[in-house]
Homo-oligomer: A and B are copies of this chain.
Amino acid sequence: MDQISKVWFGPLPPDSPYVRPFRFYYVQNGVEKNWDLLKVHDSVSIILFNKTRNSLVFVKQFRPAVYLGIISAEKDYDPNNIDVKKYPPNLGITLELCAGIVDKSKSMAEIAKEEVEEECGYNVPVERLEEILTYRSGVGASGALQTMFYCEVTDADKAASGGGVDDEIIEVVEYSLDEARNLLKQGSTINSPPSFLLGVLWFLTNKAPKS
């Protein structure tokens, strides 16, 4: 998964379909203020629990924004050709819930069902997707909606290996309940978004089989 041989970055082209930055202006109590932000897509995420194997199903992938967040804390790098020996790209590999953006006119649950199949290889009817919580994926630079689902699967639902579509490279991983509890141990640092930790803690609180 982490066979990344070359890394560099440059200015955002004005026609980016993914990141559309704006300056937002408003007058609050008579004072003109502004805030720089960008529009991003709404999204879904899915807590996947395999009952046959008593394990949570997560995904790992290389996230350019996380990698850049890590190397930009350093002073010593060349944006035109980042030294991948000094800064191994696997620093940018995250552990996440199965997730996807809402870029089709389908229901959130239908998009969640598709992501479960595309990323993790489980083919489940849409009725098995249980809606949990809807919140803002961000509140600072972006403010799109994210809806979190819960879905129980068994080995019998496994239809394919998963791993993403087109040129996505996604690794499907399984965590036992003890391993999942360990992720939330006080003082931990994890290359995951807060929605991942929320999903794991929500599962352990509300759905985990009692041992």
Contacts and interface: CB of A to CB of B under 8 A. Distances in A.
Given A69-B143, A198-B198, A135 B193 contact: yes
Interface string A42-73: 00000000000000000000111111111010
Nearest to A31: B167
Interface residues of A, number: 82
Nearest to A132: B186
A125 interface: no
Contact of A205 (B39, B146, B167, B205): B205
A156 interface: no
Interface centre among A21, A24, A65, A206 (most CB of B within 10 A): A65
B193 A139 contact: yes
Interface string A3-36: 1111111111100101101111111111101011
Given A7-B25, A23-B12, A25-B8, A18 B194 contact: no
Interface string A136-178: 1111111111100000000000000000000101000000000
Contacts of A23: 9-13, 16
A70 B8 CA distance: 34
A33 B67 CA distance: 15
Q: Closest 3 A-B residue pairs measured CB to CB?
A: A66-B143, A65-B143, A69-B143
19 contacts: A4-B28, A7-B24, A7-B27, A11-B22, A12-B38, A16-B23, A21-B38, A26-B62, A26-B64, A37-B68, A96-B139, A133-B190, A135-B190, A135-B192, A139-B193, A142-B142, A198-B201, A201-B202, A205-B205
